[in-house]
Amino acid sequence: MDRMLVVVFDHETKGYKGKSALRELEKEGSIALYASAVILKHADGSVSVKDEAAPLLGTLVGTPAGALIGLLGGPAGVAAGATAGLLIGGLVDIDNARVGEDYVEDVSRALEPNKVALIAEIDEEWTTPVDTRMQALGGVVFRRALWEVRDQIDDEDIAAMKADLAQLKAEIQKTSAEQKKKLQAKVDALQAKIEAREQTLKERREAYSAQAHAKREVLKNNAAAAGRALKELATTPV
């Protein structure tokens, strides 16, 4: 199952150890690791990325993990010390994070100032391997299955805005010259909003499609690696 994983630790060193543990679990075939980062929560509520890895797309930008980091930074955003390439712009979006607001709130409460969190997108069939490793390091684990891109809701929102736009255009034909100017300003603003929303949705769908393809390739490679390991084990003299 494709999941968002957050593990909160009381020390930065433990965050790095947790990340190493995930890599070991991936080598063992227990999980597939798509993206990961260790972040630090500052006293002002901002977060800085101490260490990141998103082998699928090069950086965390545009990934659910990247979006979650932006959300956890709150109004203060990501601190200036964040890793190059991971910018706050466009990340603070619950739809991009593909987890519920309650999940973000739970993690935010646990991630107190001066604590660190290991954030990762993983695929796991059962939770015991990860939980055992993280609990041994003193980590508090939060996980949530990633939902699919919510195309229907976005399409319905755009359709509703287009209905409003059509009504405004119809009103322009029946009103005074002075009122027409005011209505035209509303038409222009709503039209721009619709176009921006459609472009954002297009980019989100393209990014999701690319990530889904890349994740399938990772799973194929993991399956092949697991098969080779089993074959080697079967032929190893006891």
In angstroms and rounded to an integer, the radius of gyration of the C-alpha atoms of the chain is 22
State phi, psi for 163 to the nearest 5 degrees. -65, -40
| Arithmetic mean of pLDDT, 123-137 | 92
Indicate the domain borders of the chain.
2-147, 150-238
- Interior angle at CA 57, CA 50 and CA 146, nearest 5: 80
With bands split at pLDDT 50, 70 and 90, how would you rate the model's confidence at 77?
A: very low
**pLDDT tens digits, residue range 150-165?**
666 677 778 888 988 8
Q: Which helix (H) or strand (E) holds 154?
A: helix 151-172
Block residue for tokens 């069939």: 125
**pLDDT tens digits, residue range 156-196?**
778 888 988 898 888 888 888 878 888 898 899 999 999 98
Sequence-distant (6+) residues with CB within 8 A of 168 are: 183, 186, 187, 190
CA atoms within 13 A on the CB side of 76: 14
